[in-house]
Amino acid sequence: MRPSLIQSARDAADAVSAARRPGRTVGIVPTMGALHAGHLSLARAARARCDSVVVTIFVNPTQFGPREDFARYPRDLEHDLDLLAQEQVDFVFAPDLLEIYPPGYSTYVEPGTVAELWEGACRPGHFRGVCTVVLKLFHILPADLAFFGRKDYQQVQVIRQMVADLNLGIQIVVEDTIRDVDGLALSSRNAYLSMEQRQRALAIPAAWQSAQRNFSQGVNDPAILEAAMHKILLDAPIDHIDYAVCVHPNSLHRVTVAEPDSVLLLAVKVGATRLIDNATLGGATP
């Protein structure tokens, strides 16, 4: 059965309050829609741990830059609802723009220091928009747990810092990245890729897999690992590399010596499509 569709913030808050009666928990899965198996895995994880599950669908304009893909970001609410029916989601909160940002809206959340590098540098204002909408969703839907995918690694760290800094009473749960059979991380933006571009995009997982192999063979100089990733990406060829770096798992600063828990962060463009990925350096290569 399809989940109940709620578009009013007040109605959504009432539904969560009713679901959180004593002894029962609510899980929230924030998304921008265009759902794929990665999103559905989050809904499944929420269902396994919580008594009630709410998925939010809102394409948040404040996290897009002026030359980014807000206008063409894929939207198909009816299809999303059909997919969520298979995951026993209780309800979907899909507000319109004015429900979240009414006329005269002017309050924003300034993200913490972990937002300054990488995506923060490449997409100024992006994490300000992310933190603002996520905080609003957490207040509208006061759930017990919130589920996010590891693919957006820096975003998760930014949200974790916000939750800690602002004493928010919600637990952040991070689930593994879901990949297609060819190794490419699932993303709504993969729909933009032509067949030829998708083949070139496979250099992304190939790059971090190469770094993992080098590390397993004793290479712990991050400059060498990063150079190897860049070579694979450029040979593909990837059209533009924003970054392909080896960083500390919490601060996201570049490391001087690579460790098993160091994280490989990548952001590239294939054609006009920007894709991100990450992997733990000492993790098993899928």
pLDDT at 38: 97
Same structural domain for residues 112 and 254? no
Q: Each residue of 198-225: pLDDT tens digit?
A: 999 999 999 999 999 999 999 999 999 9
Q: Which of 39, 79, 139, 240 is catalytic?
A: 39
Task: Classify residue 147 as left (phi > 0), alpha (psi -120 to 50) or beta.
Answer: beta
Closest CA to 57 of 41, 78, 37: 78
Number of domains in the chain: 2
Structural domain contains residue 286: no
> Please, what is the average pLDDT of the chain?
96
Same structural domain for residues 228 and 161? no
Q: Each residue of 1-32: pLDDT tens digit?
A: 899 999 999 999 999 999 998 889 999 999 99
Question: Is 39 in the active site?
Answer: yes
Same structural domain for residues 140 and 208? no
Structural domain contains residue 198: yes
Q: Each residue of 134-190: pLDDT tens digit?
A: 999 999 999 999 999 999 999 999 999 999 999 999 999 999 999 999 999 999 999
Residue 72's domain is classified under what CATH number? 3.40.50.620
- Rounded distance, CA 213 to CA 225, Å? 10
Domain span at residue 91?
A: 4-175
Same structural domain for residues 162 and 217? no
Does residue 94 contact residue 30 with C-beta atoms inside 8 Å? no
- The pTM of the full predicted model, rounded to 2 decimals, is 0.96
